[in-house]
Structure 1
């Protein structure tokens, strides 16, 4: 029985909130303190968040053109397969399954477990069971069609934006004298250069590409997808910059640099333990939304790989009624659960972030191939081509190199996973005879 095909049921609002949900996870509640340690004033810190947001917006514009050219499920996998051959597509999907999407989901689910135990005063031994429960929960939500899953995702996204709004209003309304010092130079010793300060900022903006994986389910994708990427990204930039200003207004630059949990510190300083619990609930909801969209987006990649004969045929099947890749979704979720049980949060985050940004670099490179080898003008083209794509590509390469220099073990593990995919691909071709020769 042939697959019924994906149903195009995602509206502009659905798509924009997917962009928001794919980016805002736990980073904005944790990373500003790290960035503050590596800058010498609040003004420089805010400039970094604005700059990081604008750079990521350029990435969104590039992905918007790619999505307009190929408005189908699979995202980066499809672009890499067409531009650089089936081996390149397979290596992306292989790494996505083993490290990038699964690792991101596992890491953020662990954050959910940590905050849930904190809010309800539970034993720390329940962190991993709660993380597993969160993954099972969001997987179950998406077994019954993209429309229902999108509605749940919309609720998650709106709730996390509400949590950020509460944090921002609290910071700006109750900062007091700290507001005048928010942008002042800091006495804190700067622990890294510009590249080091930019790393935690850019990592907080990760996840903007997930919508492209769902392009096969977006209505009027050539028009909707670019609009959703830009709109969602602008919302995130505004939320991130305002949140950082609220941190600075309450804690000051030195206080932010010393904080391990700036959101909790801001709310606790203003409202005491009750405030800390309120923001902890908001962060937990934010992590659930991130896990939800990461698993949903990754499942579409596995499903397309299965159709191409580059993964098990069973994952290519769509549910005949709900038209969702349920087997692929459960497979990705199962591996994420394995990672939760086998690794700690720091390891998961390091593996996923290095792989994620390396994938952005190679995916943006496909845009140059499409411009040279395909005819016709898509509904959306990246402005200021080739300057903007080159700026994004070179910056991301620099970030990946800086990250590998800072964490060589994590980068090495991800590279080993990629290289391990080479013999797996060769065996797959030999045994199944479905993959075309390497291009």
Structure 2
């Protein structure tokens, strides 16, 4: 018992030292605004412009669709509060990789790192790049969606590899411009909505299974609420700015999503919108004709571009940290202001997926695997809180972590029941991460 207590005390002291080291980094140049912009850009991607068509087909009620977006936002805010507590305690880059390594076990942290590498960033980057290419194809008819997506991926990889400050400036400008356009669309669209009376059409045959499947799709659209923790080493006063950035960004996106989806689901009769992946363009056409549809296409393209920029900034920080800890070749560690080789690795993996057709079937797989990773991180938070007691403050303890955990686990169970093969792929990814940890463990000090 004495030996175990000594080990735990040593681990806690290491946490404190790590936090002081992170707060003292001299090259941290991202403030609260840049960190919040990173969260907003990471969340406002392709999902919000496509998901509600499938939700209408599944739930058969515009009101239930808005309810699921509200519920998904509340769950994301709970997650942001949990991660904010961890960010105050462990203000280091790396996200789940660092948090799980410190709070539960290095093997779990390594598994989370591989999940980020293979699932968390590469597949969404490829999907967003392909979506951008599809939307921009009308402007560049002689270029395929893959080539247009490739140009975008390589362009942002170059920007973020040159200097984190320059990348942040481009990111901030694009995010502000995107938000102005989205709110302008909402303000102009709401007075034109003709189908508010359908808010009373609640489908009596919707089940909890339908609700949980829909929540899984919505959770993919909300993914990115934890983006700021991946670049914690480059944030000024991370213990203060990281939690605020996640909560502010997630709350803003939740309001934005509900208002934007209100304009989508009530813009036309349900039969004209249900099942359509381009529900945003369809709704805009119903409200204002081709001119509105084209304007929304520009807005979607900008949203996808800023989402790609955000993921290209955050993902490589995880791989750089894994390289610093010996789980990837030292080449991928951060030797300059930006982890350039890790950015190159991220871009290369995304390009491989972009030029294959398999990434289209990864959406549920991504949601399933990432939910397991975030659930494990919150379990690590709870374990650390129980060990340290009130000396480790967690907002809303214990209700907030429990609500988040129950919501995520319900989605995971539903995915296993309804799509067992896709869930098996997610479990196989976790097994691969554990095997990689076993193989690389002797390299660590």
TM-score, reference length from structure 1? 0.89
- Secondary structure at the aligned position of 1:183 is classed as helix
- Secondary structure at the aligned position of 1:303 is classed as helix
C-alpha separation in 2, matches of 1:199 and 1:49: 11
Alignment of 1:217-228 (within 5 A): 217-228=234-245
Deviation at 1:372, TM superposition (A): 3.0
Cα 1:435–1:85 change in 2 (3 A) is: farther
Deviation at 1:120, TM superposition (A): 3.7
Tell me the residue number matched to 2:405: 393
C-alpha separation in 1, matches of 2:166 and 2:436: 36
Cα 1:347–1:35 change in 2 (3 A) is: same
Q: Give yes or no for the alignment of 1:158 onto 2:176.
A: yes
Alignment of 1:252-291 (within 5 A): 252-291=269-308
Q: Give yes or no for the alignment of 1:20 onto 2:32.
A: no
Deviation at 1:130, TM superposition (A): 1.7
Deviation at 1:112, TM superposition (A): 1.0
C-alpha separation in 1, matches of 2:202 and 2:383: 46
Tell me the residue number matched to 1:168: 186
Cα 1:116–1:420 change in 2 (3 A) is: same
C-alpha separation in 2, matches of 1:197 and 1:420: 28
C-alpha separation in 1, matches of 2:439 and 2:282: 53
Q: Give yes or no for the alignment of 1:201 onto 2:215.
A: no
Deviation at 1:186, TM superposition (A): 5.6
Q: How many residues get paired?
A: 421
- State the Cα deviation string for residues 232-256 of structure 1 (Å, max 9, x = none): 1111011011011112332244443
Cα 1:386–1:376 change in 2 (3 A) is: closer
Alpha carbons 1:167, 1:263 under 8 Å: kept: no
C-alpha separation in 1, matches of 2:406 and 2:430: 21
Deviation at 1:434, TM superposition (A): 2.5
C-alpha separation in 2, matches of 1:295 and 1:410: 26
- State the Cα deviation string for residues 49-75 of structure 1 (Å, max 9, x = none): 222111110110001001110111112
CA RMSD in angstroms, aligned pairs only: 2.3
TM-score, reference length from structure 2? 0.88
Decide which of 306, 311, 317 is 1:294's aligned counterpart.
Answer: 311
Tell me the residue number matched to 1:330: 344
Deviation at 1:257, TM superposition (A): 2.2
Alignment of 1:339-358 (within 5 A): 339-358=353-372
Alpha carbons 2:265, 2:283 under 8 Å: kept: no
C-alpha separation in 2, matches of 1:248 and 1:79: 39
C-alpha separation in 1, matches of 2:438 and 2:248: 42
C-alpha separation in 2, matches of 1:127 and 1:115: 8
Alpha carbons 1:163, 1:279 under 8 Å: kept: no
Q: Which runs of 5+ in 2 are unaligned?
A: 1-23
Q: Give yes or no for the alignment of 1:45 onto 2:54.
A: no
Alpha carbons 1:5, 1:318 under 8 Å: kept: no
Decide which of 222, 231, 244 is 1:214's aligned counterpart.
Answer: 231
C-alpha separation in 2, matches of 1:345 and 1:113: 15
Q: Give yes or no for the alignment of 1:31 onto 2:51.
A: yes
Alignment of 1:33-432 (within 5 A): 33-122=53-142, 126-175=144-193, 177-179=194-196, 181-185=197-201, 190=206, 193-319=210-336, 323-374=337-388, 377=391, 381-429=393-441
Deviation at 1:190, TM superposition (A): 4.9
C-alpha separation in 2, matches of 1:173 and 1:347: 37
Deviation at 1:280, TM superposition (A): 1.2
